[in-house]
Amino acid sequence: MKEWGIQGALVLTPEEELKGSSVEIKDAKIDRVSREKSRCALTIDAQDAVLTPGLINSHDHLLGTYFPKVGNGPYENWLPWDNDLKSAPVYEERQQIENRDLYLLGAYRNLVSAVTTVSDHIPHFVSEPYYDMLPMKAIRHYALAHSIASFALAWGGEIDAEYQKALKEDIPFITHIGEGFDAETRQDLKTLDRKGGLGDHSVLVHCIAFQDEDIKIIKQKGASVVWCADSNVFMFNTTAQVKKMLDAGVNVCIGTDSPMSGGENLLYELKFDRTYFKKTYGKDLPDETIVRMVTANPARAFHMKKSGHVKSGFVADLALFRHTRKNPYDSVVSAGLRDVLLVVIDGKPAYGDARYAHLFDALKVPYQRIVLDGEEKVVIGDLLGMLRRISKAVHFKKEFPFLPVEFQV
């Protein structure tokens, strides 16, 4: 692949701020990060932008991507919500759509919000037929359980076997846990530990029921937590004790969950989380911390050893945002869909402002021109065709707030 570069942006590594820096890309990797001008003949200027690692959505269900939300909470645990979902008219509507297009819808929902990698929590036999056709990346190698209680769905094998697989292959073991308040769910962490599924390869999603002792154990075991605040508040009127987790030094990541219970997209989630934290704890959740919760922290949680940072030798998954705030981290957390200027995956542009169409052309990356939220954009794949197929399947023009694209049926 042709070498190319980005220069002039304020780079968030995310641990450091590098002003007026250049990033050179070669063979899907970051070749050089420097305060000097790019040496590449093909270089784009990004003086008005903040460059970060590509964002990582630490919890989603791509097959469950649809709108609007469904629910009549608060619920005791996830099961009655799932029953309400599957009896709702909008679920019947969603069932008319091919799984391929639901996967694409979920992928584009993530891509336009600067997500380069998503953790799609679902059994492998369901997801594997679709991952190669997505316009962004899904984590492919993971061990899993649906959840811990006796009423869990039958995802994966026995918990101890799944966790041993995670250790052997150095991949994450992912499970919903503590998602509710019934007596059994409150014991989830103890059950998980007893069954041999708790350790530094565990990625624990939701954790609403966890108390101080649970948080202490998580820290001791080195497990990571995924915070899905909007989804939790919608379903349960509360969420995990995230401040105590952060204060204890737990590795906390952010996920959206499905838009049928959670927020519109990851950028929406960042702002929701910041506001919720301030309202709940009377203190600010620093923007620097939030950015790490969607870059470096999930890279650590999912054992993605060459992702989540802007460093030489790391995978060239990058996001470029309009610099709209004095604090560049705030520019990312406050960003709307219009402010996503460019998304790069494995060293190739995948989505961005129409001003960067020449980059796609120079790198021979096919693209489609779209208008999203009033802005001219370019994107890989056939996003418009997907929206038309969905509308045809449900027999009316179906529009989504998380993908506000102009299209004709």
**Distance from C-alpha of 318 to C-alpha of 115, rounded to nearest angstrom:** 9
- 73 and 36 both lie in a single domain: no
- 288 and 318 both lie in a single domain: no
| Domain, as residue range, for 118 | 56-301
Give the CA distances from residue 331 to residues 25, 50, 284, in Å, rounded to whole numbers and listed in that order.
24, 8, 16
Residue 213 lies in a domain: yes
Last residue of a domain, one of 257, 285, 301: 301
User: Which tens digit of pLDDT belongs to each residue from 278-334?
Assistant: 999 999 999 999 999 999 999 999 999 999 999 999 999 999 999 999 999 999 999
- 259 and 275 both lie in a single domain: yes
- 250 and 190 both lie in a single domain: yes
| Burial zone of 130 (CB within 10 Å; 0-12 exposed, 13-18 middle, 19+ buried) | buried
The per-residue pLDDT for 1 is 65
- 99 and 216 both lie in a single domain: yes
- 191 and 230 both lie in a single domain: yes
Residue 153 lies in a domain: yes
Listed as ranges, residues in the chain with pLDDT below 70 are 1
CATH (domain of 184): 3.20.20.140
The per-residue pLDDT for 390 is 98
- 19 and 121 both lie in a single domain: no
138 by DSSP, 3-state: which? strand
Residue 141 lies in a domain: yes
Residue 397 lies in a domain: no
CATH (domain of 352): 2.30.40.10
Number of structural domains found in the chain: 2
The per-residue pLDDT for 2 is 84
Local structure of residue 2 (DSSP, 8 states): -
User: Which tens digit of pLDDT belongs to each residue from 59-101?
Assistant: 999 999 999 999 999 999 999 999 999 999 999 999 999 999 9
- 332 and 274 both lie in a single domain: no
Record the pTM: 0.98
User: Can you give the C-alpha Rg of the chain in angstroms?
Assistant: 21
Residue type, 329: Y
The per-residue pLDDT for 22 is 96
The per-residue pLDDT for 116 is 99
- 254 and 264 both lie in a single domain: yes
The per-residue pLDDT for 168 is 98
- 109 and 37 both lie in a single domain: no
